[in-house]
Amino acid sequence: MSSIQTISLTGVRNALKSLGELVWGDSSKSILPFIPRPIRYLVVLLLIVNARSFPFTWHYRMFSPVAFLRLNWWIVRLSGQSKEKWLDSRQPIGRSPFSPNICKPYKSWASPDESDYNIHLSNSSYAKTLDAVRLNCALECFLAFFRDGGWIALGGTHFNFIREIPIGASYEVRSTFGSWDGKWMYVVSRFVSKSKRATVAKNETKKRLQEAQAGLRDEAAPSTSVQAGIPSPLIHTPAAAIDLTSASGSSTPAVQVVSNRALDESDDEVLHCIGISQVCFKIGRITVPPALVLASNGFGLSNEKWQEIKQLRSRRSPDMKAQGGKSGISMRELLKGGWKDVPGEDRWWDQALAGMEEERVRKLEVFSRLKEGVEGARAL
């Protein structure tokens, strides 16, 4: 062992010994003899309990993924690996924005400093956690947009608290893209935890939904009791499944939509909260349509089309007029407002997401009503 290593180990031992004397040593021999031992124990306990609320802890939880991503990028560059392949591997090429696992689950736990007097996760902690969830999801799905100079603005957050998360319990947040319009995108985040007690509740939910679906089939088919003028008996159905048509006006029973959402979690999981984030995409002060951002990051694109999109990013000095306003534009100029000059038949981003248009419109009706309701509260 070198002399430098010996000196370093000696310094660490001395520091730990001094810390031990400060906390557990005799009051007359410690560094701070005027502080009684019980108070020192209490101070250490408070520091441990509130460790996740220390200064800059929130910043670490938020931006550590950015730092690790940067570090990974520098390792790729220094090791001589293909930067292009590494960037392509982090893009959701060909995927649907409505994929259930579009973002990796964000795992956390209800620490004492994030819990309230009811001994469960504080309402404000859901929003605090969702800050990190959104950034992690954005880094996974919109890395190319950030490289183009874009950023994401939060326009609003809506929470529906269903069940509490007890103190000390671990949970994870699963995020999906709900829908989008010409300006806003809606991100749905579900706070879920494992629970053996949830099995009974989930089985009961399954039973009620199956009864509701069976009742709908019975009503759709002619029965002897109805033909004889005898009203069919009422069945117990969930309140959300009473309306039998979907928001798009189709004949799809709404109870089927409810069942698909209610049973997203497995039988040993419980849904605690749903958070809906309303975000928009920006280049400077300019708003970029979500459809363009999605497609420019690879959603819905084939590998051949993705290679064409990469050529747009390689252009640094575009001349739109010389190229007829179509093929000569760079990606950055396209995002900064050049998309307005592209004819409808040449908007490749709309074509890439055309197969998802029906689902987008159907879901957008739900989120639009939520947005209108909140904005309508301003006039009250």
Task: Determine contact, residues 204/197, Cβ cutoff 8 Å.
Answer: no
Three-state DSSP at 115 gives strand
- Has residue 204 been placed in a domain? no
User: Strands 151-161 and 170-180: what pairing?
Assistant: unpaired
> Amino acid letter at 170?
S
Same domain, 41 and 62: no
Task: Determine contact, residues 290/180, Cβ cutoff 8 Å.
Answer: yes
Instruction: Find the CATH number of the domain harbouring 277.
Output: 3.10.129.10
Share of the chain above pLDDT 90, in %: 50
Token digits of residue 174: 């699963």
| Tally of domains within the chain | 2
109 strand-pairing partners: 170
Same domain, 188 and 84: yes
Same domain, 109 and 93: yes
How do the residues of the chain divide into helix, strand and coil, expressed in percent and rounded to 5? Answer: 50, 15, 35
Burial classification of residue 227, based on how many CB atoms lie within 10 Å of its CB (0-12 exposed, 13-18 middle, 19 or more buried): exposed
Same domain, 47 and 120: no
Q: Could you tell me where the DSSP H helices lie in 103-197?
A: 123-141, 143-147
pLDDT, tens digit (0-9, with 9 covering 90-100), for 170-229: 999 999 999 999 999 999 999 999 876 655 666 676 777 777 777 666 655 544 333 333
Closest to 271 (Cα-Cα) out of 212, 195, 207, 208: 195
Same domain, 39 and 127: no
212 alpha-carbon distance from chain centroid:
31
Same domain, 37 and 122: no
Same domain, 59 and 40: no
- Residue numbers of the domain that contains 30: 17-52
pTM over 0.75: no
Same domain, 43 and 173: no
Same domain, 22 and 77: no
26 alpha-carbon distance from chain centroid:
50
pLDDT, tens digit (0-9, with 9 covering 90-100), for 257-272: 343 444 456 667 899 9
- Has residue 377 been placed in a domain? no
The pLDDT value recorded for residue 30 is 53
Strands (E) in the chain, as ranges, are 106-109, 151-161, 170-180, 185-194, 269-283, 286-288
